[in-house]
Structure formats: structure tokens, C-alpha cells
Amino acid sequence: MDYSNELFDTAKRYIPGGVNSPVRAFRSVNGTPFFTKKANGPYLYTVDGIQLIDFVCTWGPAIHGHNHPDIKQAITSALDKGTSFGTPNSYEVSMAKLLQKIVPSVEKVRMCNSGTEATMSAIRLARGYTRKNKVIKFAGCYHGHTDSLLVKAGSGALTLGNSDSAGIPQSLAEETIVLEYNDISSLEEVFKSYKEKIACVIIEPYPANCGLILPKENFLLKLRSITEQNQALLIFDEVMTGFRVSLGGAQEKEGIIPDLTAMGKIIGGGLPVGALGGKASIMDYLAPEGPVYQAGTLSGNPLALSAGITALQLLIDQNPYSLLEKLGRQISNALLDTANSKGIPLQVPQVGSMFALFFTENPVTNFTEATHSDTESFARFFNNNLKNGVYLPPSPYETCFISTAHSSSVIDQATDIMCRSLLSI
Ligand SMILES: *Cc1c(COP(=O)(O)O)cnc(C)c1O
């Protein structure tokens, strides 16, 4: 990848680490990143002329694959009318109505430009609404790079080994209580010790930024009842799981209604969009209706929303979830069979079109267990795949995504490559 290497050398002179988001730098797989020239369907094409089957899907958003013709068309026709108005526009109304219909907890919704903005505003709103300060989060859950949530976070923060970022005042971090996912008894204890102080609990219902972790039976239900009993808001961060594990997200799949929901990724159809939705009585605490300030120069942007609305409409029309589940299972079963046949210790948690690999003997139910997996084996697995034309997330603590553009023949081909890559770690 000569041209990629050359671009990366130049990039490092002008951009910190050569990248605009840390995990893209390939540090946890002992490599240097390739540069992408274009993307189409299930494929990325590097500047070096190499075609890769893509299971990163731009870190989640591309559930329809890259450059879907309908989304492209929607952006093109919106573009004809202007790139940004700074006034209300009809796309915002269509999007809000769509989200109210699709996402069980959403009665009202505010659009923003990223998942980080959505979770940041959710926390402020929860504090403003409850007049309490403390926030509970779970180790390994990543909620974007907002100060009070960048404590024991997953994703890039995790692989860099500084789970607490420099630049976050201790006094602020102290307002965040971090618990182990799937552990109800510590949650109960914390609510006892900090009675009347906890504004909210924020959670990735299926943590997907430290590999992929699934909830134990009743964990999310108990979380819902404990928060309710203590008048603390329950915030589902569905930036990853929303529109991914089912149309209405993990909340629909699990039958649980959180008070607030943060959305992002798929909702923008590949353009920068985030959203915060929830009960009308809480959402009306946002300015200009209420006292909690939240704003955005480009929020509700017509290009971004036209892409997002079309992405959601495609999901409604195609209802691809059982097909995606089947493909997800095909891959995870094949990987597990191959690992078992060679005695390679491997876990492949999977839900719908999301799957991850942990090189460890025991099932992973929380962050601590996730960090006990063999990351060097993952790095070798990753690099074998890349050599053979399959691009996986360049970190052991990320999730792989399948899109509707991954046809069954592409999945067969990729599965074969992944199994061979596994045999030669
Ligand atoms: C990606 C992600 C975010 C942050 O979204 P950005 O658009 O990158 O700011 C927040 N929460 C979860 C669960 C995510 O996966």
C-alpha cells in the first residue's frame, strides 16, 4: 500500500497522529492505515487500487452499504435547493414524525449533528430535569467524547489505554459513577449510597464499543425498574444499536421504554446527524420551551436529513432484520466451528448484523472480562484478513457490521476468508 503509506506520512505532519479520529490510526493492530479512494456497496477501494469487503461500514452508519443510489439521489435533489437554511425546514418535520413512529420511547425529538452531541445534551437535560448531578455509566460503554462520559469509556479511548482522558477536571469526573455492565447488585448499592443524588443512568443497551457484550436475562428490565423507583432518568444510548438491531432499536427488541434516547450513525445515512428523543414532558425542558440550553448552527441540515430520512425509509420498506440476523449467525457460527476444530479459544458474540471476536475461553459479560482477551491474536487475525481482502475494525474492542449490500455470495466469500485467516493466526 505505497500510496497510502505516502499519504499517511504527509498526514502525520499536519494532523495529530495523521487521523481525525484515533482508532483509524491502526495502532492496536500494529499497522498503518490505508486511505480510501471510494466506497460502493459492501466494498472499499483504497488509493492503492485494492478492493476490500468492508465490515466496518463507516463504524455503523452504512447499514445499506456505501453510496446507496436512493440516498445519493435524495442528497442530490436536496442539494438543488440549497445546502443550509438556518430556518425551520420541512425535512425536520418529516424526520421528527418518522422517529416518533419508529422509536418506541420517542414522543418528541431534537436533531443535532453527532452522537456525542446527543449524549451530551441528554446528560444536561437529565440533570436539568431532575435537578440532580450524578450520572451512572457502565465500564466499556462509549458515549462519545463528552467530558463527563469519557470515564472508563470504550472505543478509541479504550485501545489507547487512557480510559480517562487528560483535560477532564477531576471535579467533573467525580460526578460520574462507573459500574460494571450486567451487575445489578452494585447498581442497587450505588442507588442506596447516593440516594436523591443520581440524575440518570446512561447505557449502551448492547455495549458495542468494547467488542460486543450482550445483556444477561432481566438486566435491562431491572435497570428500568431501579431507575424508575429512584426518580432517575434512564438514557439509552442507541447511537449504535438504533435502527441496527431492529427498526426501533434495542428498546424495541427488549421491550423497554427508556426516558431518553440518544441516536446517531444510521440516522444520518452517512452524513453527520444525531438526535435526542424521549418523553414530551422531559423533552420540553429544552430551550426555547424550557430552561435547558441546546442548539446547533447546522442542526436539521437539509442535506443530512434528506439522506437520513431516505436511509430510514429504506429500512421500513425492506425490513431487512431477519435476513441480517441470518447472515450474522452464518458468520459467527462459521468462525466458532473453525476455532473449535483447532482448539483456538474464541467467543463470537452476535446480535443481528453486529458481531465481534474475543480471543478468550470464557463468554464475555462485562468490560473486565473483555480486557482479558488476547489482543495480539486479534491483531494477527485482523492483518490476515486485510491481506486477503476483508476489512474488519482495526481494534479488538470494536464491533463488525454487516449491511444489506453484503449479498449472500459476498458473505460466503468473506466467511471463507475470515475462517482461513483464523486458522493462520
Ligand atoms: C459512535 C457512538 C457515539 C458517538 O457518536 P459520534 O457521532 O461519533 O459523536 C456515542 N455513543 C455510541 C454508543 C456510539 O457508538
Q: How many CB atoms lie under 10 A from the CB of residue 61?
A: 27
Q: Looking at 118-132, 170-184, 408-422, which range is the least confident one?
A: 170-184
The residue that leads in pLDDT, 18 or 169, is 18
User: Measured from the CB, is residue 204 less than 6 Å from ligand 1?
Assistant: yes
Q: What is the mean pLDDT of residues 306-330?
A: 98
**Known catalytic residue: 142?**
yes
Q: What is the largest CA-CA distance in the chain?
A: 61
User: Measured from the CB, is residue 142 less than 6 Å from ligand 1?
Assistant: yes
Euclidean distance between the first and the last CA atom of the chain, given in angstroms as a whole number: 22
Give the closest residue to 75 by CA, choosing from 268, 243, 242: 268
- Is the pLDDT score of 154 beyond 80? no
Alpha-helical regions (H) of 215-301: 219-229, 249-254, 280-283
Which amino acid residue places its CA nearest to atom 15 of ligand 1? 240
**Known catalytic residue: 152?**
no
Q: How confident is the model at residue 353 (pLDDT cuts 50, 70, 90)?
A: very high
How does 255-267 read in b/e, with b if 16+ C-beta sit within 10 Å?
A: ebbbbbbbbbbbb
What are the tens digits of pLDDT across the range 88-103?
999 999 999 999 999 9
Q: Contact at 8 Å (CB) between 187 and 181? A: no
- Is the pLDDT score of 164 beyond 70? no
Give the closest residue to 215 by CA, choosing from 203, 201, 228: 203
Q: How many CB atoms lie under 10 A from the CB of residue 5?
A: 14
Identity of the amino acid at 132: K
Which one from 43, 91, 129, 142 is the annotated catalytic residue?
142
Distance 270 CA to ligand 1 centre (A): 13
Distance 337 CA to ligand 1 centre (A): 32
- Is the pLDDT score of 340 beyond 70? yes
User: Measured from the CB, is residue 212 less than 6 Å from ligand 1?
Assistant: no
Distance 235 CA to ligand 1 centre (A): 14
Give the closest residue to 359 by CA, choosing from 208, 343, 207: 343
Q: What is the mean pLDDT of residues 256-273?
A: 98
Which amino acid residue places its CA nearest to atom 6 of ligand 1? 115
Q: Residue 291's pLDDT is what? A: 98
Q: What is the mean pLDDT of residues 206-221?
A: 97
- Is the pLDDT score of 325 beyond 90? yes
Q: Residue 157's pLDDT is what? A: 57
Q: What is the mean pLDDT of residues 264-286?
A: 98
Q: Which residues are within 8 A (CB) of 97 and not within 5 positions of it... i.e. 6 or more apart?
A: none
Mean pLDDT of the chain: 96
- Pocket probe mutation, ligand 1, options 63, 119, 399, max atoms within 8 Å of Cβ: 119
Name the phi and psi angles at 72, rounded to 5. Answer: -60, -45
What DSSP assignment string belongs to 241-254? Answer: TBTTTBTTHHHHHH
* Domain extent listing, the chain: 1-27, 69-317
Q: How confident is the model at residue 161 (pLDDT cuts 50, 70, 90)?
A: very low
Hey, what CATH class is 69-317 in?
A: alpha beta
Q: Residue 150's pLDDT is what? A: 85
User: Measured from the CB, is residue 137 less than 6 Å from ligand 1?
Assistant: no
Q: Residue 25's pLDDT is what? A: 95
User: Among the atoms of ligand 1, which is closest to the Cα of residue 141?
Assistant: 13
pTM of the model: 0.96
What are the tens digits of pLDDT across the range 277-288?
999 999 999 999
Which one from 132, 181, 237, 391 is the annotated catalytic residue?
237
User: Among the atoms of ligand 1, which is closest to the Cα of residue 144?
Assistant: 4
State the Cα–Cα distance between residues 252 and 198, nearest whole angstrom.
26
Q: Residue 160's pLDDT is what? A: 43
User: Measured from the CB, is residue 116 less than 6 Å from ligand 1?
Assistant: yes
Q: What percent of the chain has pLDDT over 90?
A: 93
User: Among the atoms of ligand 1, which is closest to the Cα of residue 59?
Assistant: 1
Q: Residue 163's pLDDT is what? A: 47
Give the closest residue to 153 by CA, choosing from 145, 144, 142: 142
User: Measured from the CB, is residue 421 less than 6 Å from ligand 1?
Assistant: no
Distance 390 CA to ligand 1 centre (A): 24
State the Cα–Cα distance between residues 14 and 375, nearest whole angstrom.
30
Give the neighbor-by-neighbor strand order of the sheet with 400-401. Answer: 350-351, 354-355, 400-401
What are the tens digits of pLDDT across the range 65-83?
999 999 999 999 999 999 9
**Known catalytic residue: 164?**
no
Distance 115 CA to ligand 1 centre (A): 4
